[in-house]
Structure 1
Amino acid sequence: MQTNIKIGLVEDQDLVRQGFKSLILGWKDMNVIFESEDGHSVPRKLTGLKELPNILLVDLQLPNKGDLIYSGAHLTMQLQQEFPQIRILILSVQDDPVTMANLIEKGAHGFLSKSCSPSELEHAIRSIHAHGSYINEQTLRALQGRLSHGKATPTPKDDELTSREIEVLRLICQQLTAEEIGEKLFISAKTVNGHRNNLLQKTGSRNITGLVMYAVKKSLVEVN
């Protein structure tokens, strides 16, 4: 039996929000359990829920909080502190590399342009739910451009990672599950998870997205 994926929508335009909701409800094993037309009230609203969404789809351009700017980036950073178990997929009409890289660095688990296809949106949601991130080629290139200019957090030397850990890291960047990685490397999923935990500790990453950023900076993954 498949696990139901609980989705939240943070979008100020009602027509757009309802369009996303209708689309998502048409996909198997997904349900929309939370909606908000602004970002600044989301943490308070989440506190009152009996169950939290697994993934929040967050519009980057959200209404301000009075005179204060409060965008999807601000919400992402606040949720990282208060609800770290919730994964965040940013949706935006802006798809420039700087914006994408900034959002991933701030803790977003994925980024999509609002011009993406329904099939890519579904794939991104499922990838974030199963693997903890969705990093497509466009986002990888954005990260590579940012990290190559030295704006990333200092990372360990390559020789601190074992050859097996590097193998696991490269497969993680391909969005494979622990079971799938285990099958490729002829090791158990438990062993894969052990390597993943070691990678998180050695690289100082908070999550899978952080591991992808490390791999990009160290040129351990190819970007077409």
Structure 2
Amino acid sequence: MPVSIAIVDDHYLVAEALSNLIQKFDNYEILLIAANGRNFLDQLQRGNQLPDITLLDLNMPIMDGFETALQLRQQYPSVRVLALSMTDREDHIVRMVRNGARGYLLKDCRPEELHQALDDVMTKGFYYSDFLTSQLVRNLNAPLGNGSISSFNLNEREYEFLKVACSELTYNDIADKMCVSPRTIDGYREAVFQKMNVRTRVGMVIEAVRHGLIDL
């Protein structure tokens, strides 16, 4: 069956252009278009079929993308959200990720990037571009506190590794900083990846931000 897409954007021409573009992609179909988050949720609450992916604008009247993503995460967790925005503000990116977005695209991206993002969200569960990763990693600061470690049952050294790894340091640099061998760092990495159910360093960073293990 084709992957069903919902487009939530208050700019009619943008929504129509996205619809026309996506319908040219193999194995994708447009399920519905909504002008804002409230209208979208109303359509879902009337019993309409749930989309596989929702392309969600951030700035909309009545209910914006931030609140809509949060409502979807709480009420319809199976719906994958891919955020769309004209801006690359870091606070917007992090807020959307925390509210459940599986990726973040700028509206001036190329059609092939949109296609790749849709494919990745369906096959991998997320789309983290180099742009998104650099925006998140570059400005990660201190954690919220040790109470959040319990989210993934990390011990103190694993948590310390997580904090240091949410940076642009190489694993060898992390070993030097933590005063351990690279092999020990490999062990920390494998343990943290397993406990956080991620397969990549990027995925680890995103999950750490989403669960409040680190903060901006």
- The residue number in structure 1 matching 2:196 is 199
1:131-146 map, 5 Å: 131-146=124-139
Name the SS for the 1:61 alignment partner. coil
Q: 1:105 to 1:215 in 2, by over 3 A?
A: closer
TM-score by length of 2: 0.70
1:23 correspondence with 2:21: yes
Identity %: 26
Q: Which has the larger radius of gyration?
A: 2
Name the SS for the 1:147 alignment partner. coil
Contact 2:158 2:188 in 1 (8 A): no
Contact 1:7 1:53 in 2 (8 A): yes
Q: 1:89 to 1:169 in 2, by over 3 A?
A: farther
Contact 1:165 1:199 in 2 (8 A): no
How far residue 54 of structure 1 moved from its aligned partner, in angstroms, is 0.4
Output one character per residue of 1:30-61: Cα deviation in whole Å (capped at 9) or x when no partner. Answer: 00011101111222211224521100001111
Contact 1:101 1:139 in 2 (8 A): no
Q: 1:163 to 1:51 in 2, by over 3 A?
A: farther
Q: 1:31 to 1:214 in 2, by over 3 A?
A: closer
Q: 1:151 to 1:107 in 2, by over 3 A?
A: farther
Q: 1:14 aligns with which of 12, 15, 19?
A: 12
Output one character per residue of 1:105-144: Cα deviation in whole Å (capped at 9) or x when no partner. Answer: 2211110110110000110011011111111111112221
Q: 2:123 aligns with which of 120, 130, 146?
A: 130
1:154 correspondence with 2:148: yes
- The residue number in structure 1 matching 2:114 is 121
1:29-178 map, 5 Å: 29-63=27-61, 65=62, 70-150=63-143, 154-155=148-149, 156-157=154-155, 159=158, 166=189
Contact 2:94 2:209 in 1 (8 A): no
Structure 2 stretches lacking a partner, 5+ long: 163-184, 211-216
* Structural RMSD (CA): 3.1
Q: In the aligned structure 2, how far is the partner of 1:81 from the partner of 1:216? A: 18
Alignment size in residue pairs: 177
TM-score by length of 1: 0.68
Q: 1:146 to 1:75 in 2, by over 3 A?
A: farther
Output one character per residue of 1:148-196: Cα deviation in whole Å (capped at 9) or x when no partner. Answer: 34469934245489958945987xxxxxxxxxxxxxxxxxxxxxxxx5x
Contact 2:5 2:31 in 1 (8 A): yes
Structure 1 stretches lacking a partner, 5+ long: 171-194, 204-208, 218-224
Contact 1:25 1:32 in 2 (8 A): yes
Contact 2:158 2:192 in 1 (8 A): no
- The residue number in structure 1 matching 2:2 is 4
